[in-house]
Structure 1
Amino acid sequence: MEWSVNRESDKPIYQQIFEYIEEKIAYGEFPPGSRLPSERKMAEQLNVNRMTIVHVYDELQASGLVERKKGSGTRVSTHKWGILPKGVTNWRKYIEGGSFLPTYPLIKRIRDEAKVMKDGYNMAGGELSTDLFPASFLQASFNQHAFPSNLGYVHPQGHLEFRETLASYVKEYHDINVTSSSILITSGAQQALYLITQCLLNPGDAVAIEAPSYSYSLPLFQSAGLRIFALPVDAEGINPDDIVTLYRKHQIRMIFLNPTFQSPTGGVMTEPRRERVLEIAAELGIPIVEDDPVSLLSFDGKTHYPLKSIDKSGNVLYVGSLSKVIASSLRVGWIMGPESVINRLADARQQIDFGLSIFPQLIANQFIQSPEYPKHLAFLKQELLERRNEMVLALNEYLGDKVEFSVPKGGLFCWCKIKQKVDDQKLVEEAIKNKILFMPGSVYGSPNGYVRFTYARLQREAIKEAVLKFAKVLDKV
C-alpha cells in the first residue's frame, strides 16, 4: 500500500486512516460492494495496531459508508456514496459534535489497549492491583449489616450517616474540620471536578493548573470552555509567585492543585509554599480546588496535611476519594467546601443522576469505621513500599544510564525523564507491540521524553520484567 500514516501529524492516526478510506470510496477506487481488507490485514499494511482499524471500521459503519456482517467481512455500502439509505442516521456528524470533548487520542489508545491486552504489563493505569483490594474485609463488613429498608432516593448531598462518618474521618486522618452539611458525595473525584468546572465557572474563564498535571489530561476543562494556564512544578511544588503573575496577566478565577504525591511527578509541596499559596489565594480572592487522592499513602511515616486543614478563609474546595486506598470501582468521592457551594453542586448533581447509589456509600461507611480499615491502610502502604522499591531497583539496573528520576516517598507512581530524544507517539506504539503500557508525559503537559510508571498496578514479581521490557523498547526507538 503506497499511502502511509503520518506519525508526525497532530491529527490522530485513526482519523487519518478514516479519511483515507473515505476518500478512496468517494473517488470510486473502493466501489460499492467491494470488500475491504480484514482488520488484521489492514493493520499490517499500515503498520498500526489492529484495534485502531477496528475503531476506523466502526466509524465508517456509523457513517453509513460500509456494511459489516459477521463472516462476510467489511464491504463498501451498495447504496450511492454520500446518500444514506432511508432511516439511517449519519452518526459521525453527531459523534463529532456536542460540547463535551472526547478523551485525548493517545490516552484513549492506551486505555483501549488495556481493555484487550492479555499477558502484558500495564504500568499506565492509576489504580491498585486486584490483590491490594480489601475484598474479604468489604464482604465481611457488608454481611454484618442489615439490608437497607429504604431504597428511595437519598439526600442530594449523599447518605447523611456516611457524610457524618466522613466528617470524622477527615478530622482523624487529615485534620480537616467540616460538618456533614458541607460535604457532597460524588461518583469518584472525577465527577467532583466535572461539577466544579461546569457549575462554578463560565466559558472563557481562566484557570491555573500544575504543569505537568493529571488535570492536563482531562478534556473536561476545554469542554467547559475554560482557558488553561500552567503553574510549573519543581521539587517543592508550584512557585506561589507564579499565581500572582498569572492573575495579573489573565485574571485567573480558580486554581487546581494536587499538592501531596502529585500525579504524575509524585512530588510534595513544601509547608512554606502551602502557606504562601493560601495567603495569595485569600488576598486575590481566588478559590483553590485541592485534589487529594493518595496523601494517606506515605512511605516514611510522615503525615502531609492537606491545604484544607490550614485554610482559615474558606477558599479551598477539598476533593477526595476512596479509589486509591480501597478500590477504584467503589466510585466514592467527595467535595468539601462552603455550604452554599455544596448546595449549588448538589443541585446540579441531582439534575444529572439523582445521587450516587446507596450501596457503595453503605459499604464505605461501614468499612472506614471498622477496625479493619487501619489494618488495610498499613498493609497497603507496606505493599506499595515494596513495589516501589522493586521498581527503583529495576530502573537502576536496566535504565540507570538512560533515565533520571526521584524516588517517590508515597503514592502510586514513579516519574522518569528519558535522557535520549524520543517521540512519545512512537514510543507508545512500540511498547504496545511488546505488550507494555505506560503513560507518556506529553498527556500531562510535559514535552516528549517523560514517562509515568504505576508500580501499584502490577504484581510485585512482574515489575522487574516490565521495566526490562520497556528498556528493550527504548533501545528500538
Structure 2
Amino acid sequence: MVQNQAKYEKVINYIKENILKGDWPIGSKIPSQRKLAELFGVNRSTIVTALEELKADGLLEGVMGKGTIVVNNTWTLLATSPPPDWNETASSNLTKATQLGSVEGSEEHQDHFIQLSKGELAQDIFPTDHMQQVMMRLAGSLEPFGYEEPKGFLPLREAISEYMNRQGTEVSPSSILIVSGALQGLQLISAGLLYRGSTILLEKPSYLYSLQVFQSAGMKLLGLPMDDQGMNAAAIKKHYENEQSILYTIPCFHNPTGILMTEERRRELLNVCEQLRLPIIEDDIYRELWIDGPPPPSLKSLDQHGHVLYLGSLSKTLSPGLRIGWIAGPEQVIDRLADIKRQTDYGSSSLSQRVAAEWISSGLYENHLSFVREQLEKRRTKAMQILDDYMKDLAEWNVPAGGFLIWLKLKVKIPYKELYSKAYQQGILLNPGSIYTEESVPAIRLSYGYASMEDFEKGIKQLREIILKNR
C-alpha cells in the first residue's frame, strides 16, 4: 500500500512539475494513460487515480475527442503545491504582518490635525441614517451566532457574486472567500500560497511598499515603471525572474498615483502574464469610486485561465470599521485560503457579514455609491482649484478620474524630512512619497476624501508657506 501511494504521488508530482516548468502549457494534451503507466512502471488504475485527483484540483480536464488537457498553471497549481512548511509558518507570518501593520493604520487620530494623508472617506459621507436602518432591520431577526462556514456567510457571498456579475465579472459564491479587509486577503495569500524568497512584481510607486505583508514572509518587492495608462506591461518580461514570481497591481485609481489603467493596457498585461505563467493579484478596492465614468473591465473578468486572484472591499466605499473584504478566484485556491483563515481566526465577524449582506442585497449599497461619487466629484473640483491657486508654481499633478488620491510631484528642491516634520508641527499630516517607493522621491500623496475642503485649503496654503521658507 505504501509503495502504491509513493508511485501515485510520483505521477502527480511529475505532471505538476511539467506544468510548472511550462513544458505542458494551458491547452496542451498530456501523455496517454498507457504511456504514463509505462513510464512509471505501474498499472493504469494508479494513473487514473492520480489524474482524477489533478482534475479535482482544477489542473486538468478531460475533453471529448482530445484526451486530458492542462487547464490551469498558476494559482491553482500553487494552491495544490503549497510551501512544505506552510502549516507551521502561516500563523506566525500572519501574526507578524498584522503587528507590523501599515501606514494607513498608524495615522494620528487627534481632532486638531488636518488629515491630508488619510486614505478613507470623510465622516459626512458615511451613511449614518441608512446604517441605523440596516442595524434595526437585522436586530429583529438575529439569532445566536456560531462560527460561520470557512468561506464566510453564504448570503453575503451570494450577494457579492450577483454584484460582481452585474459589473461583468462572473464568479460563483463558492469561489469567494470573505476576509477581514483586503489586507487580511494579502496576508492569507502570502502566508499560505507563496514560497519564501518569492518575487512580487508591482507598480512603483505602490501602496504595497508601505506594508510589511510580503517582506515579513521573506519575499522581495520589485517595482516596475508606470505611465499614464498604468503599469508598463513590457517591463514585466524584462524583470520577470522565475516561476516563484507573482504580479500585484491596483488597476483602478491606483494608490498612490490615482492612475486608471486603460483597457488596452489591461489586455496587454494579462497577455504577458499568460505567456509567463505569472499569477496576478488584482487589488480592485477603489473600482466603484469612479467620477468621470465607469472603469474598464476588471482583469478578473478578462481572465480565461484562472490567473487572477481578485481583492474587493467595502472599506473605501462604505465603512472601514465593518472590516469586510473578499477574495475571488479559482475554487480550489479559495478552498485553500479558507482553510488557512479557519486556522487563524475562525472567520470574520458574523454581525459585520450580515450587515454587509443586507447593504448589498437590498440595493442600498449601489444607491450609496451614487451619493459617494457626487461628493467625490465636488471635492475633486474644489481640490483642483485649491492646488491651482497655491501649488501651480511649486508642483505638478494629474487630475484623477476617480478615487480620492493625488500624487503631488514637487518641482522645487527642499529637505523633505524637514518639510514633513514642519508640516506635522503645524498640525498637518502628510504621507511622503518615499513610503511608496523605498527611496527618496520629491512627491506627496494627498487625499481629498477625508478632510473638509476648508481644512484642505488651509493645509495646502500652509504647505506652500513651509516650502517657500525652506527651499
TM-score, scaled to structure 1: 0.75
Aligned residues: 374
The answer to whether residue 242 in structure 2 is matched with residue 256 in structure 1 is no
Q: Is the 8 A contact 1:206 1:254 kept in 2?
A: yes
The answer to whether residue 197 in structure 2 is matched with residue 204 in structure 1 is yes
Question: What amino acid does structure 1 have at the position aligned with 2:153?
Answer: H
The alpha carbon displacement at 1:460 in A equals 2.8
* Structure 1 residues 112 and 270, CA gap change in structure 2 (3 angstroms): closer
* Structure 1 residues 306 and 207, CA gap change in structure 2 (3 angstroms): same
Q: Is the 8 A contact 1:422 1:448 kept in 2?
A: no
Match of 1:471 in 2: 464
The answer to whether residue 312 in structure 2 is matched with residue 320 in structure 1 is yes
Question: What amino acid does structure 2 have at the position aligned with 1:234?
Answer: D
CA distance in 2, matches of 1:453, 1:303: 22
* Structure 1 residues 442 and 353, CA gap change in structure 2 (3 angstroms): same
Matches within 5 A, 1:104-115: 114-115=108-109
* Structure 1 residues 112 and 308, CA gap change in structure 2 (3 angstroms): closer
Match of 1:383 in 2: 375
Match of 1:405 in 2: 397
CA distance in 1, matches of 2:314, 2:363: 17
The alpha carbon displacement at 1:113 in A equals 5.9
Matches within 5 A, 1:1-80: none
Q: Is the 8 A contact 1:434 1:473 kept in 2?
A: no
Match of 2:134 in 1: 141
* Superposed CA offset, 1:260-300 (max 9, x none): 10000000111111111111111211110000111111111
Deviates more, 1:188-197 or 1:269-278: 269-278
2:108 partner SS: helix
CA distance in 2, matches of 1:101, 1:373: 29
Match of 2:366 in 1: 374
CA distance in 2, matches of 1:453, 1:367: 30
The answer to whether residue 369 in structure 2 is matched with residue 351 in structure 1 is no
Match of 1:191 in 2: 184
* Structure 1 residues 239 and 113, CA gap change in structure 2 (3 angstroms): closer
Q: Is the 8 A contact 2:262 2:296 kept in 1?
A: no
Deviates more, 1:467-476 or 1:403-412: 467-476
* Superposed CA offset, 1:343-383 (max 9, x none): 11111111111000111111111112224323211111011
Q: Is the 8 A contact 1:246 1:252 kept in 2?
A: no
The alpha carbon displacement at 1:100 in A equals 4.7
Q: Percent identity of the aligned residues?
A: 37
Q: Is the 8 A contact 1:101 1:223 kept in 2?
A: no
CA distance in 1, matches of 2:97, 2:122: 31
Matches within 5 A, 1:196-345: 196-247=189-240, 249=241, 251=243, 253-345=245-337
Q: Is the 8 A contact 1:403 1:417 kept in 2?
A: yes
TM-score, scaled to structure 2: 0.76
Q: Is the 8 A contact 1:391 1:467 kept in 2?
A: no
Question: What amino acid does structure 1 have at the position aligned with 2:134?
Answer: S
The answer to whether residue 118 in structure 2 is matched with residue 119 in structure 1 is no
* Structure 1 residues 153 and 434, CA gap change in structure 2 (3 angstroms): same
Instruction: Give the alignment partner of residue 155 of structure 2, picking from 157, 161, 181.
Output: 161
* Structure 1 residues 271 and 433, CA gap change in structure 2 (3 angstroms): same
CA RMSD, 1 decimal = 1.8
Deviates more, 1:228-237 or 1:333-342: 228-237
**Structure 2 stretches of 5 or more lacking a match?**
1-94
CA distance in 2, matches of 1:164, 1:126: 28
Instruction: Give the alignment partner of residue 151 of structure 1, picking from 123, 142, 145.
Output: 145
CA distance in 2, matches of 1:467, 1:119: 16
The alpha carbon displacement at 1:150 in A equals 4.0
1:114 partner SS: coil
**Structure 1 stretches of 5 or more lacking a match?**
1-97
2:222 partner SS: strand
The alpha carbon displacement at 1:198 in A equals 1.0
CA distance in 2, matches of 1:422, 1:221: 32
Match of 2:416 in 1: 424
The alpha carbon displacement at 1:205 in A equals 1.2
Match of 1:182 in 2: 175
* Structure 1 residues 101 and 339, CA gap change in structure 2 (3 angstroms): closer
Q: Is the 8 A contact 1:423 1:449 kept in 2?
A: no
* Structure 1 residues 345 and 405, CA gap change in structure 2 (3 angstroms): same
Matches within 5 A, 1:77-116: 100=97, 103=100, 114-115=108-109
2:202 partner SS: strand
1:318 partner SS: strand
2:412 partner SS: coil
The alpha carbon displacement at 1:149 in A equals 1.6
Question: What amino acid does structure 1 have at the position aligned with 2:169?
Answer: I
The answer to whether residue 432 in structure 2 is matched with residue 449 in structure 1 is no
CA distance in 2, matches of 1:331, 1:376: 18
* Superposed CA offset, 1:62-103 (max 9, x none): xxxxxxxxxxxxxxxxxxxxxxxxxxxxxxxxxxxx965964
The alpha carbon displacement at 1:119 in A equals 2.0
